[in-house]
Amino acid sequence: MQVGKLKTNDFKDLRFKGSTYKTSQFLFVYRVLEDSIENKLFFGSTVTKKIGNAVLRNRSKRIIREVMRNFLSSQTLFVVDKNKSYKLVYLNIVVLKSSQNTIGYLNASKQFSKFFDFLKNSA
């Protein structure tokens, strides 16, 4: 699966046309387009200013990127079925709150796996 970055217009489209899935620390805003030409995931993250100072916000974004990098390299998100049905996924991860002002890698990884299990089962 190829991975791309969300553009400004993609963030706006997701805000109005996307579906949401909420965990304890994250709000996953996603949009799945069926029957695409190729499997591709467009990914972005947003951290609100309610999360500490700039150092903590940037650390949160680094952890999110690392979790996504490891998750994408270790698992297949979408299985291409016999009919060659590809999916195009737009995903924005919003950090809502963090316990103890930091987001832990293991906790973030568990919440990401919950979301992707939900996404696999709903498709």
- Total tally of structural domains belonging to the chain: 1
**pLDDT tens, residue by residue, 90-104:** 888 888 776 555 678
Q: C-alpha angle 38/41/46, rounded to 5°?
A: 160
Q: Render pLDDT for 55-71 as a digit per residue (tens, 0 to 9).
A: 888 988 999 999 988 88
Beta carbons of 37 and 87 less than 8 angstroms apart: no
Angle (deg, nearest 10), helices 105-122 and 54-74 = 50
Q: Which amino acid is present at 50?
A: K
Residue 83 has a pLDDT of: 58
What residues make up the domain containing 79?
2-122
Which CATH number do you get for residue 117? 3.30.230.10
pLDDT per residue, tens digit, the chain (123 aa), is 678 888 888 888 898 999 999 988 899 999 888 767 777 888 899 988 888 888 888 988 999 999 988 888 876 665 555 555 667 788 888 887 765 556 789 989 999 989 988 888 876
Any residues with CB less than 8 A from the CB of 7 and at least 6 apart, and which?
A: none
